[in-house]
A and B are shown apart, each in its own frame.
Chain A
Amino acid sequence: MRFLKMDLRAATIAAALTASLGLAAAPAEAKVDGDTIILGSAISLTGKYSTNGIHAQNGYELGVKVINDNGGVVVGGKSYKLKIVYYDDESTPARGAQLAERLISQDGVKYMLGPYSSGLTKAIAPVTEKYKIPMVEAEGASRSLFTQGYRYLFAVLSTSEQYLASSIELAAEIAKKNGKKPSDVKVAMAFENDPFSLDVRAGVVDDAKKFGMKIVIDDKLPRDLSDMTSTLTKVKALKPDLLVISGHSKGAATAARQIAELKISTPMIAMTHCEAAKIISKFGAGATEGILCPTQWAETLSYKDDLFGTAAEYDALFKKSFEGYKNVPYQAAQATAAVMVWKDAFERANSFDSEALRDAIADTDMNTFYGGIKFSPAGNNVAKPMVLRQIQDGNLNVVAPLKWASSEARHPRQPKY
C-alpha cells in the first residue's frame, strides 16, 4: 500500500510536471495570436537610460498605432494587427539578455525590436542570434555591433562612426573655400572612454587621415565627467581649427558650459547629444552659437513615406499623440521606423516564418519619413546619412549634407560670451 501511495504521488508529480511543461510550451505559439502579430522588446523603462528608453517605447507605440489604424499588416491576404510585449531591462545589460531569453523561450516571441543603447543591444544580440530570431533595432549605433558577423541583427540608424565624421568633411570644405588646404586644418578631439564615443572617434580619425589633417589633441574623458578644464586649457593653448567632442548628454552639457566659461574661441566646434543635453535652453543662444550637432533625424528634412507623410508631419503627429514633447527626439523617430521595417518585411515575405522574414528584412529597400533604409550585409543601414545641424540664433538648422540643408553653415562661429 505504501509503495502504491508513493507511486501515486510520483505519478501526480510527473503529471503536474508534464502539465506545466505543456503550459510552458503553449505560449511558444504566441508569435501570432488570432489576428495579432506579437513583437517583443526588452527596453529601459527605469534606470539610467529610462529617459531615452521611454522615448523609444513611445516611438514603437506610435508606429504600431498608425500601422494598425491604416489596415494593419497584410499577410496571405489577411490583415493582422501589431502588438508589442515589453519588459523593463532596468538599464542593465545582464537583465536585458535575461529578458530577451524570456521573451523568446517562454513567451514565444519570434520577432524582436531592439532595446535602448548600444550596450544593451550588445547584450541582447547574442540571445536573438542563438535562437535565430530576427531583431530590428533602432537605438544601438555602436560600430562593433556590426563587426561580429551577426545574421539576425538589423539597425535602422546610422552607425556611430558617422556621427562627427561629417564635421571633418565640412571643415575641409570650408578650408578649401577660404583658400587653405584641408591638410592645414588642426583638429582637437575629446571623447569619452566608452564604446560609443570611441566609435565616434574612430570615424573622425579615419576622415581626418583621409584629408591629411593634424590631430593636435586626443583626450579621452572619464565616464563621470564633470570638469573639462584641463582639456579646454589645452585647446586654448594649441588653438585648433576644429574641436570635436562626444560624451553623451553629460559631455555635451559640461563642454557647452565650460566652453562659454573659459571663452574658448575655436572657430568650429562639433559635439554629439546637444539636443538631449538641452544646451541651448540651459546655457543660452549666445553662448552656444555656432556649435555643430549631429543628429540621426530632423523634422525639417524632406524625407517622406505613405504612412506618416513627411518628417514634419510625423513630428506634428508625435507631439499630438504624447504629452510633454516640445521637440521630438530622434530616438522616437527611429523606433517608429523600426516598426515600419517589420511591417514591410511581413508583407514582402508573406509569411510568419522567421527565416523567410530575416531574408525579407535583409532585402529591405524603403523610404520613410526617417530617411532611406537599406541594410548592408553586416546589418547596418547604409541608405541614410548622418545630418549635421548648427545652432544659429538659438535654432538648430540643418547645414550638412548640402542636399538636405536648410541653411548655410556659419564660419567662424561667433558666440557671445
Chain B
Amino acid sequence: MLDNISILLQAPIFAVDLLVQGLLIGGIFVLAAYGLALVWGVMNVKNLAQGDMVILGGYVAYQCTLWGIHPILALPIAFVVLFVLGWGVYATIIRRVVDRDMFTSLLATFGLSLLIQQALNLRFGPEVKIAEAGFGTFDIGDLSIPAIRFVGLGLAAILAICIVLFMRNSRMGQAIRATSQDPRAARVLGINTDQVYAFTYALNAAICGAAGVLVAMIWNIQPFYGLVHSIRAFIIVTAAGLGNLPGVIVAGFGLGVWENYSGFIFGAEFAVAAVVGLLVVVLMVRLFQMYRLRQVVR
C-alpha cells in the first residue's frame, strides 16, 4: 500500500491520471443517483431496480449497434424507450406500493430488478456486451484517456442541465416539486399527484436508460451488473442527503475519484469497500452534526 502511495508521490502524473479518469466517470454516477434522488424524494420509493434500469438502457444501446445505429444515437432512443417502460411499470406495480410502508416498495422493486435481470439474460445471454463507439484515445502529454469518457461526461452534463431546466421551468417540473414538498397540499391545489408520480418514475427510468447507454459505451454490461449501479446510486444519495442536488453532483464526482484512488492504493478488490467505508464516515459526521443541532434547539 505504501509502495503505491509512493508511486503517486514520485510520479504525480499518475495521480492526475486517476483524478481525471475518476471525474470523467463520476458524471455517469451522478445521472443514476439523481434519478434515484428524484423518485426517493418525490414518491418515497426506494427503487432497488435502479441499477437494472441502467443496464437495460445499456442493452438498448447494444441492440442499436446490432441494427447498425451508432450508440450515441441510441441515447435518445433509450431515453424514450425507458420513459415508456417506466410509465408502464408505474401503472402496473409502483402505483400499488407508493403509499405503503417502506418494505413493500423495497420488495416490489427488488422483484422488478430480478425480472429485468432474467429477461435480459433470456434475450441477450449471460456474456458481457459492449456498445463500441470507436472514438479512440486522447493523448495529453503522458496521459492516455479514452475519448469516450469525455464524450460520456459531456452527454451526461447536457442531459443533467436539460433535466434541471425542465424541473425549474416547466409546469410538470413545478408540479413535481410541489408534490415532493407536500403531496396532500398539492392535491388540494388541483395537482393530479398520481400523474406526477407516474411522470417522475418514468423520468427516472429514462435518466437511467441514458446513463446505461453511457455505461455500455465506456465499460461493459451484463444482465446481473445492475446491483453495483444501484449500490453506487444509493451511496451517493445517502451521502449527499435527500433533496440536495448539488450534494448529489459533488458526491457522484467524488465517488468516481475515490473509487479510482482507492483501487490504485488498496488494490482493485477494495475499491467498493473503500466507497462504503467513506459512506460510514459521512454518516457518522452527519450524526454528530445533528447532535449539535439538537443541542442548539434544546
Chain A window 252-277, contacts with chain B (Cβ cutoff 8 Å), 1 for yes, 0 for no? 01100110111100000000000011
Known contacts being A228-B268, A253-B130, is A417 close to B11, with CB within 8 Å? no
Interface flag for B227 (CB, 8 Å)? yes
State whether A233 touches B269 (Cβ < 8 A). no
For A226, give its contact among B18, B220, B263 (CB under 8 Å). B220
State whether B225 touches A224 (Cβ < 8 A). yes
Residue of B nearest to A221 (CB): B268
Q: How far is the CB of A65 from chain B (nearest CB, A)?
A: 25
Chain A window 223-258, contacts with chain B (Cβ cutoff 8 Å), 1 for yes, 0 for no? 011111111011011100000000001100110011
State whether B127 touches A51 (Cβ < 8 A). yes
Chain A window 19-53, contacts with chain B (Cβ cutoff 8 Å), 1 for yes, 0 for no? 00000000000000000000000000011111100
Interface flag for B244 (CB, 8 Å)? no
Residue of B nearest to A260 (CB): B137
Q: Given the complex of chains A and B, what is the CA–CA distance between A277 and B263 in angstroms?
A: 24
For B7, give its contact among A49, A218, A234, A249 (CB under 8 Å). A234
Q: How far is the CB of A197 from chain B (nearest CB, A)?
A: 11
State whether B137 touches A262 (Cβ < 8 A). yes
For A220, give its contact among B144, B220, B225, B267 (CB under 8 Å). B267
Q: Given the complex of chains A and B, what is the CA–CA distance between A91 and B118 in angstroms?
A: 12
B: number of interface residues (CB 8 Å): 42
For A47, give its contact among B18, B121, B132 (CB under 8 Å). B121
Q: How far is the CB of A56 from chain B (nearest CB, A)?
A: 14
Q: How far is the CB of A302 from chain B (nearest CB, A)?
A: 31
Residue of A nearest to B17 (CB): A233
Q: How far is the CB of A217 from chain B (nearest CB, A)?
A: 9
Interface flag for B222 (CB, 8 Å)? yes
Chain B residues near A236 (CB-CB < 8 A): 14, 17
Interface flag for B210 (CB, 8 Å)? no
Known contacts being A224-B225, A227-B219, A237-B7, is A262 close to B144, with CB within 8 Å? yes
Q: Given the complex of chains A and B, what is the CA–CA distance between A263 and B137 in angstroms?
A: 8
State whether A230 touches B263 (Cβ < 8 A). yes
Q: Given the complex of chains A and B, what is the CA–CA distance between A50 and B112 in angstroms?
A: 22
Chain B residues near A226 (CB-CB < 8 A): 128, 215, 219-221, 225, 228
State whether B260 touches A230 (Cβ < 8 A). yes
Chain A residues near B199 (CB-CB < 8 A): none
Which residues of chain B in 149-179 are interfacial with respect to chain A, using CB atoms and an 8 Å cutoff?
A: none
Interface flag for A193 (CB, 8 Å)? yes
Chain A residues near B261 (CB-CB < 8 A): 230
Q: How far is the CB of B275 from chain A (nearest CB, A)?
A: 11
Interface flag for A190 (CB, 8 Å)? yes
State whether A227 touches B264 (Cβ < 8 A). no
Known contacts being A238-B7, A250-B222, is A48 close to B121, with CB within 8 Å? yes
Q: Given the complex of chains A and B, what is the CA–CA distance between A260 and B144 in angstroms?
A: 10
Interface flag for B186 (CB, 8 Å)? no
Known contacts being A229-B263, A237-B7, A237-B11, is A190 close to B268, with CB within 8 Å? yes
Chain B window 268-284, contacts with chain A (Cβ cutoff 8 Å), 1 for yes, 0 for no? 11011000000000000
State whether B126 touches A51 (Cβ < 8 A). yes
Which residues of chain B in 244-298 are interfacial with respect to chain A, using CB atoms and an 8 Å cutoff?
A: 259-264, 267-269, 271-272
State whether A47 touches B126 (Cβ < 8 A). yes
State whether A50 touches B126 (Cβ < 8 A). yes
Interface flag for A169 (CB, 8 Å)? no
Residue of A nearest to B10 (CB): A237
Interface flag for A76 (CB, 8 Å)? no
Q: How far is the CB of B188 from chain A (nearest CB, A)?
A: 46
Interface flag for B25 (CB, 8 Å)? yes
Chain B residues near A253 (CB-CB < 8 A): 128, 130, 220
State whether B128 touches A250 (Cβ < 8 A). yes
Chain A residues near B14 (CB-CB < 8 A): 233, 236-237
Interface flag for A222 (CB, 8 Å)? yes
Chain B residues near A254 (CB-CB < 8 A): 128, 219-220
For A229, give its contact among B126, B221, B260, B272 (CB under 8 Å). B260
Q: Given the complex of chains A and B, what is the CA–CA distance between A229 and B137 in angstroms?
A: 14
Interface flag for A359 (CB, 8 Å)? no
Q: How far is the CB of A84 from chain B (nearest CB, A)?
A: 23
Known contacts being A226-B220, A229-B21, is A234 close to B128, with CB within 8 Å? no
State whether A282 touches B127 (Cβ < 8 A). no
For B269, give its contact among A193, A250, A263 (CB under 8 Å). A193
Chain A residues near B21 (CB-CB < 8 A): 229, 233
Residue of A nearest to B262 (CB): A230
Q: How far is the CB of A51 from chain B (nearest CB, A)?
A: 6
Interface flag for A219 (CB, 8 Å)? yes
Q: List 30 A-B contacts (CB under 8 A).
A: A47-B121, A48-B121, A48-B223, A51-B126, A219-B269, A220-B267, A221-B268, A222-B272, A224-B227, A224-B228, A229-B18, A230-B264, A231-B264, A231-B268, A234-B7, A236-B17, A249-B127, A249-B128, A250-B128, A250-B222, A253-B128, A254-B128, A254-B219, A258-B146, A260-B137, A261-B144, A263-B144, A282-B130, A282-B132, A417-B137
Closest CB pairs A-B (n = 3):
A230-B263, A220-B269, A226-B219
Can you name 14 extra interface pairs (CB under 8 A) apart from A230-B259, A238-B7, A261-B146?
A47-B121, A51-B125, A218-B267, A224-B224, A227-B219, A228-B268, A229-B21, A229-B263, A233-B18, A234-B4, A257-B130, A257-B220, A261-B144, A262-B137
B residues sitting closer than 8 Å to A (CB atoms) are 4, 7, 11, 14, 17-18, 21, 25, 121-122, 125-128, 130, 132, 137, 139, 144, 146, 148, 215, 219-225, 227-228, 259-264, 267-269, 271-272
